[in-house]
Amino acid sequence: MLEPDGQKHHGDYPNFLADNYHVQRRNYTEGQGQRHLQTWSAPRGMNHQLFPLLQPKLTLVQFAGDDINGERPRPRRRRTEPPKEISIPSEIPKPRLWPQQETEKKADPVPSKAKAVEKKTIDDFVILEEMGQGAYGQVKLARCKKDSRKMVLKYVTKRRILVDTWTRDRRLGTVPLEIHVLDYLRREDLKHPNIIEMNDFFEDDVNYYIEMIPHGLPGMDLFDYIELRVKMEEEECRSIFVQVAQAIHHLHTKALVVHRDIKDENVVLDGAGNIKLIDFGSAAYIKNDYAAPEILAGKSYRGKEQDVWALGILLYTIIYKENPFYNVDEILDRDLRIPYIMSEDSVHLIREMLDRNVDSRITIEKVLEHPWCKTNSTEGGDD
């Protein structure tokens, strides 16, 4: 079957634009114990129906059972799909105050007289291109008309915001928790080089708009990068992973925030191998999922441990270019499959993070202290 990379097959293929660099489509056929892979590349915007006319740039014959476990090839990774639209009640319930907000409430002075501020609107920007589709809205590259600066705009559609994620702030007003967390993280003592920074936000009747400074190549996230890289050396895998782990360590230990949506689609790269963790739409302040097995089994939520589980999934994906588990049953019961040994330390770290026993699962501190992360690890790092 001919499939577009990262697209879910629903019968007839939709026309779609390629990413900034190129499009890939792959054709898999199986027979007589072999699995054939053909890959095409084409210019941006080319109709999918013309792909079979192109000369394949790569043909690979893979024998079933090539991996060390003797299993057939696993399903290809797919991007996660945005949730269906939901409706929020006309009257938003009174939002809760988190511990960080209680401190702000006491510290914020009561303004003597509000100054008239010119309201920012989406018309103040020229949209240059669409960069992606997130869980709660679109992400676009734009240019500010006032000073010509390029900005990334995340559209957060109000009707998709879950009712219990609205939060009240004395200074910001009633906003989605994502905006409150991003505003909290842009304090000088909470900034981190591997975490995206919100520049500003504004709203209209339909959306909130989160402004962020662009990082790396437009539209190039770790999902795309993994797909494009024919082979990633261990040191490159380590460099990317350690930067993500350092960002999570900063969130857990200093900011007291859990991300709760760690995956390759939420990591962006620049041309020098530097990463930033993005999309705090599922983030929360730490209190007493890549869904970890204990969540699926109905046990109580423990945010730090679930972030570490997701880091294990991420490292597996970086090294093996596939997911270790593809459904709930596999997450709960399937033995971890290791296609090949990159190094004993890398396999050990993956197993430690993907420990189904939440009480014995490795902590983020121990992740960064693990021998695999310490070997020629990225300089700099967390505070």
The per-residue DSSP string of 252-298 comes to IIII-EE----SGGGEEE-TTS-EEE---TT-EE-------HHHHTT
Q: Do 151 and 140 touch, CB atoms closer than 8 A?
A: no
3-state secondary structure of 313: helix
3-state secondary structure of 369: helix
- DSSP class of residue 251? I
Q: List, in sequence order, every beta strand (DSSP E) within 145-256.
A: 150-157, 166-169, 173-176, 198-203, 207-212
Tell me the C-alpha distance between 174 and 163, whole Å.
Answer: 12
Question: CA 326 → CA 78, 329, 378, distances in Å?
Answer: 10, 8, 31
3-state secondary structure of 371: helix
3-state secondary structure of 132: strand
Angle between helices 344-353 and 303-320 (to 10 degrees): 150
Q: Do 378 and 239 touch, CB atoms closer than 8 A?
A: yes
Catalytic residues: 261
Q: Do 156 and 136 touch, CB atoms closer than 8 A?
A: yes
Tell me the C-alpha distance between 49 and 13, whole Å.
Answer: 9
Helix and strand totals (H; E) in the chain = 10, 15
Q: Is the dihedral of CA 50, 56, 61, 66 positive or negative?
A: negative
Output the six-digit token pair for 373.
């992360």
Tell me the C-alpha distance between 177 and 209, whole Å.
Answer: 14
Look at phi and psi of residue 327 and say left if phi exceeds 0, alpha if psi is from -120 to 50, else beta: beta
